[in-house]
Amino acid sequence: MPLTTSAFNLPDHLMHKADPALIAGDEQHFSAIAESLELSIADLSARLDATRKAPGRLGQEALERDVEIRRLTSRLRALRRFGLDLCLGHIVSADNARPVYIGRLGLTDAEGRRLLIDWRSPAAEPFFGATHANPMGLASRRRYRWTRGRISDYWDEVFTTDSSVGIAHYPALDDLSAFIASLGTSRTARMQDVLGTIQADQDAIIRAAPRGALVVDGGPGTGKTVVALHRSAYLLYSDPRLGQRGGHRRSGLLFVGPHRPYLSYVADVLPSLGEEGVQTCTLRDLVPEGALAAVETDPDVALLKSSARMVKAIDAAVGFYEKAPAKGLEIETPWADVWLSAEEWAEAFGTPVPGTPHNEAREEIWEELLTILVDKFDGGDVPEDLLRRALVQDTELVEAFSRAWPLLHYADVVSDLWSVPAYLRLCAPWLSADEVKKLQRRTGKAWTVSDLPLLDAAGQRLGDPEASRRKRRQEATLAAGSSWTVWSMTWWRPTTPNCW
């Protein structure tokens, strides 16, 4: 239904901007937006209610139903959160086409006419990126300032000198746009709504290609957090690895902040950018040890642990446990003995693709060892499954492999660095004797906040210690036949490396 109240609520000193010749087109468009919002909310509510009342399903159908409920709920919440202030502004192209309105979300009317273009879509890029040096095909741009659901001010920017555009009819010209005006307002605990004031240089960062690391550096108040939040929302919209396809989110995005109040502020802002599915956490949340981690009392120790080179020490610490045996091994079976040479040990240890986490690579190496032994077995016509069963039950082989490539836990690796000086010197040879001494402590697992990044790095380097066990259980469950054997390997880890 049409609006009964104007979308504009301009203060007295801005009444010259209330001229119908300037805002009549906006008023008409806002009326269409209000009507579409009302219909969309009613339609989504009905669909959500019907989906929830649908008969219970199992398996994939149940999963798809749950995903659809989450999608409808998220969309409905976003539409209810805003009214007309879904609209950020509009752009007019140089060919004098109709204005294109940019919104926090995309919106169409019942006939399929596009009322709002999602701010993250390529068509909306000129709204943020156009400058006088590079107008990106625009003739003009208008940005709104919303206060309690109504427009309290707006700014026009004209990019052409073509007299047909009617520059004289833009009393709200501001070449620096709304961003400069917003700098004069007082800062609050909550970030102001700045989506409509993103500048070209900020927008270039927000829309940068999602390849590799992107570092944004700047002093306090330069907009780093603003850019980070908008980029998060943009990536979820544009990157197929993160976004939704057919209602299913393939992956996700994690926003790591320094403390809980900061994350509360992030959680308040992201929905205004059209996203509610971002996961947030503090550094303490990344590893279980974070909950009880104390503050590092010695600033020198904190500085040493924060060095990027310490990540190399973590890699070296894990690499210490990834060396193939230098001697061969004679393996006995009920049929014949099999010789595993040092060269074959090395061949199996070279199987994983570089970068494969230590614990996950372990299963690949073990399977390659078994394959090598089966291929060279010369003990008659013995079924392969029987031979493999005999090999995995060979205590000497299992223990030799477990010593050479043990299953490791990230906390043990980092703890050993802080409790065994020889191990730390081996893994971080650049440290001086005094620095090694500073890093040592009686209880290796007396974690501090400075340890958390290193624990996380060790976890990434090692991978999931349960991955191979889960894989074997799944394979056993799927195995055909009424009779099958589930075997297990003895996992072994030395309390300290054998060089100490």
3-state SS assignment for residue 350: coil
Both 275 and 319 in a single domain?
A: no
**Cα 232 from Cα 187, distance rounded (Å):** 23
Q: Which residues contact 217 (CB under 8 A, 6 or more apart)?
A: 224
Both 34 and 117 in a single domain?
A: yes
**Six-digit token string for 232:** 């998060």
Domain membership flag for residue 215:
yes
The model scores a pTM over 0.75:
no
SS3 for 146-204, per residue?
EECCEEEEEEEEECCCCHHHCHHHCCCECCCHHHHHHHCCCCCCCCCCCHHHCCHHHHH
Give, to the nearest 10 degrees, the angle between helix 452-462 and helix 299-306.
Answer: 30
Both 452 and 313 in a single domain?
A: yes
Segment 393-448, tens digit of pLDDT: 999 999 999 999 999 999 999 999 999 999 999 999 999 999 999 999 988 889 99
**Six-digit token string for 24:** 């009549």
Q: For a pLDDT cut of 70, what percent of the chain falls above it?
A: 81
The count of structural domains within the chain is 3
Both 270 and 378 in a single domain?
A: no
**Cα 439 from Cα 313, distance rounded (Å):** 13
Inform me whether the pLDDT recorded for 183 exceeds 50: no
Measured at the CA of 359, the angle between CA 358 and CA 362, to 5 degrees, comes to 90
Both 252 and 387 in a single domain?
A: no
Higher pLDDT, 420 or 286: 420
Q: For a pLDDT cut of 90, what percent of the chain falls above it?
A: 35
Which residue, of 255, 286, 317, is where some domain finishes? Answer: 286
Residue 482 has what DSSP assignment? S
Domain membership flag for residue 131:
no
348-365 mean pLDDT: 92
Q: Where do runs of H (alpha helix) occur along 207-352?
A: 224-238, 260-269, 299-306, 309-319, 342-349
Domain membership flag for residue 500:
no
Cβ pair 348, 329 in contact under 8 A: no
Segment 296-350, tens digit of pLDDT: 999 999 999 999 899 999 999 999 999 999 999 999 998 999 999 999 999 999 9
Both 275 and 395 in a single domain?
A: no
DSSP string, 447-467: -BGGGHHHHHHHHHHH--TTH
pLDDT band at 193 (very low <50, low <70, confident <90, very high): low
Segment 87-133, tens digit of pLDDT: 989 999 888 778 999 998 889 888 888 999 998 888 998 888 888 77
pLDDT band at 21 (very low <50, low <70, confident <90, very high): confident
Domain membership flag for residue 35:
yes
Both 263 and 317 in a single domain?
A: no
The residue range of the domain holding 86 is 12-122+139-168
Segment 221-251, tens digit of pLDDT: 777 888 888 888 888 777 666 655 444 445 6
Which residue, of 240, 258, 286, is where some domain finishes? Answer: 286
Residue 233 has what DSSP assignment? H
pLDDT at 180: 36
Inform me whether the pLDDT recorded for 491 exceeds 50: no
3-state SS assignment for residue 428: coil
**Nearest to 338, CA basis, from 396, 255, 404, 423:** 396
pLDDT at 252: 73
The secondary element (H helix, E strand) that includes residue 272 is none
Both 244 and 303 in a single domain?
A: no
Domain membership flag for residue 303:
yes
**Cα 375 from Cα 369, distance rounded (Å):** 10
Which residue, of 286, 320, 353, is where some domain finishes? Answer: 286
Inform me whether the pLDDT recorded for 184 exceeds 70: no
Query: What b/e sequence results for 437-447 when a residue is b if at least 16 CB atoms lie within 10 Å of its CB, and e otherwise?
Result: eebeeeebeeb
Burial of 168 (0-12, 13-18, 19+ CB in 10 A): exposed
Domain membership flag for residue 29:
yes
pLDDT band at 473 (very low <50, low <70, confident <90, very high): low
Higher pLDDT, 258 or 289: 289
pLDDT at 480: 44
Both 215 and 310 in a single domain?
A: no
**Cα 301 from Cα 349, distance rounded (Å):** 36
Burial of 202 (0-12, 13-18, 19+ CB in 10 A): buried
Both 321 and 423 in a single domain?
A: yes
Give, to the nearest 10 degrees, the angle between helix 410-419 and helix 309-319.
Answer: 110
Average pLDDT in the chain: 81
| Cα pseudo-dihedral 338, 339, 343, 345, rounded to 10 | 60
Domain membership flag for residue 181:
no
**Nearest to 41, CA basis, from 70, 5, 82:** 82
Both 457 and 323 in a single domain?
A: yes
Q: Which residues contact 295 (CB under 8 A, 6 or more apart)?
A: 448, 449
Domain membership flag for residue 261:
yes
pLDDT band at 253 (very low <50, low <70, confident <90, very high): confident
The secondary element (H helix, E strand) that includes residue 485 is none
Phi and psi for 125 in degrees, rounded to 5?
Answer: -60, -40
Both 419 and 352 in a single domain?
A: yes
